[in-house]
């Protein structure tokens, strides 16, 4: 059994069922076999649980998170410094 606790809720996984509990919402079972176009958040959960089940790297890895963080930080730097930020600022 796997339980992940975050700032907005929990994810529970017992190799058969994934339950999403988010603040201010009723808990619900996430259909792990569905390929429907769910919300991006549900696709992320499904990809994570699939990675746990198969022991493969998740589709969204730490490098992806770092790149997204760099973009946000570059925007903040550009506003704060009043200039264009390039990849050289992160070398």
Digit-coded pLDDT (tens) for 22-36: 888 899 888 887 766
pLDDT at 35: 67
- The closest alpha carbon to 51, from 90, 91, 11, 84, belongs to 11
Positions in the chain whose pLDDT score sits under 70: 35-38
pLDDT at 53: 83
pLDDT at 61: 80
pLDDT at 37: 60
Q: What's CA 63's distance to the chain center, in Å?
A: 12
Handedness of CA 59, 62, 64, 69 (dihedral sign): positive
Instruction: Output the pTM of the full model.
Output: 0.57
12 and 23 in contact (C-beta within 8 Å)? no
């Amino acid at each position: 059994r796997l339980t992940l606790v975050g700032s907005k809720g929990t994810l529970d996984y017992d190799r058969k069922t994934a339950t999403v509990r988010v603040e201010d919402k009723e808990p619900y079972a996430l259909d792990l076999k569905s390929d429907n176009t769910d919300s991006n958040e549900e696709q992320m959960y499904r990809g994570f649980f699939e990675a746990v089940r198969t022991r493969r790297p998740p589709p969204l890895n730490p490098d992806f998170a770092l790149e997204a963080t760099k973009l946000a930080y570059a925007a903040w730097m550009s506003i704060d410094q009043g200039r264009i930020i390039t990849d050289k600022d992160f070398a």
